[in-house]
Copies of this chain bind each other. A is one copy, B any other.
């Protein structure tokens, strides 16, 4: 299996990306990596840092798409970027999956326009897997589609269920509709219409409306939202978690007494940190396109990239794409 990795995407590229690829190759002996980006720089860094490039091929891409670039630049002035080159290779069958920690917008644009949608899929969706009390849940869509129609939310439910079952091993994933109350009649027009459709949809374990107050507590495996709402949830979640963790950290480091107090329970405090750590899950699959495309967190470290490769390997070998295509076709949505 060949996994293409954007060597110049993310805050810590290219060093942490190269390291992550080397970690993954060592861990999984059935994969090969194609690393896109400035060949000279990559080889220099690998050599300086003593990173083995065994089973890692470098494909030269001189350019980089920056966070400040408009996503559509990927198709115009940045065709030679590490991201665009990788996506084109994927579309041409010169790899089985693609991972990038670069600009989300550019990645979504490129995946949709270069790799293209699965037949019948109205809109691909970005679907991060996030921590909760149960361990993890998927939030789909999380920003790819700001305006959605009810039938798109139904497709998100299908795609999310297939991924959670096949890649993360969740039996019969519980699908909830992100809403402002649990009763059937709650929410705006979009939610009411989506509820009606989801309630009657086969092959979905729909558990009804799900209040975002409860997301951290668990009880849902696939949380369905339009991209605007999903992104609001994600960012509020991250913002509040960062702020509160910062407040506690401030107390723990305030003075010598507090430092000593915190030191005795350091292991337990680190466990909280670990449970809230997005690096554990590595990022977000972009579901609905013809090949596995995976967005790693912008601040990815080597371990994040290695985890992303692990998940993407599972994404490929469990044939999630084929199963999504089948599921969409069966539910008569590809007409």
Contact = CB atoms under 8 A, between A and B. Distances in A.
A170 interface: no
Given A263-B261, A268-B258, A133 B243 contact: yes
B191 A228 contact: yes
Interface stretch (A5-13, A21-29, A114-122, A212-220): A212-220
A216 to B, nearest CB: 3
A268 B254 contact: yes
Interface string A186-200: 011101000000000
A237 B235 contact: no
A300 B143 CA distance: 36
A211 interface: yes
A241 interface: yes
A239 B215 contact: yes
A137 B240 CA distance: 14
Nearest to A214: B239
Nearest to A186: B146
Contact of A236 (B236, B242, B248, B251): B236
Interface string A234-272: 011111111111011001101001101111110011011
Contacts of A257: 264-265
Contacts of A133: 243
Nearest to A240: B240
Nearest to A243: B216
B187 A213 contact: no
A31 interface: no
A178 interface: yes
Contacts of A304: none
B264 A260 contact: yes
A144 to B, nearest CB: 11
A71 B264 CA distance: 51
A245 B189 CA distance: 34
A207 interface: no
A213 B189 CA distance: 26
B217 A239 contact: yes
Interface of A: 133, 143, 146-147, 178, 180, 187-189, 191, 211-217, 226-229, 231-233, 235-245, 247-248, 251-252, 254, 257-258, 260-265, 268-269, 271-272, 275-276
11 contacts: A133-B243, A180-B231, A212-B236, A213-B242, A214-B239, A216-B240, A216-B244, A233-B236, A236-B240, A240-B241, A252-B265
Given A143-B180, A180-B231, 20 more contacts: A147-B188, A180-B235, A215-B239, A229-B229, A229-B232, A232-B233, A236-B237, A236-B240, A237-B240, A240-B240, A240-B241, A240-B244, A244-B245, A244-B276, A251-B271, A254-B265, A254-B268, A257-B264, A258-B265, A260-B261
Which 8 A-B pairs have CB atoms at the shortest separation, nearest pair first? A216-B243, A213-B235, A146-B188, A180-B231, A261-B264, A213-B239, A261-B261, A236-B236
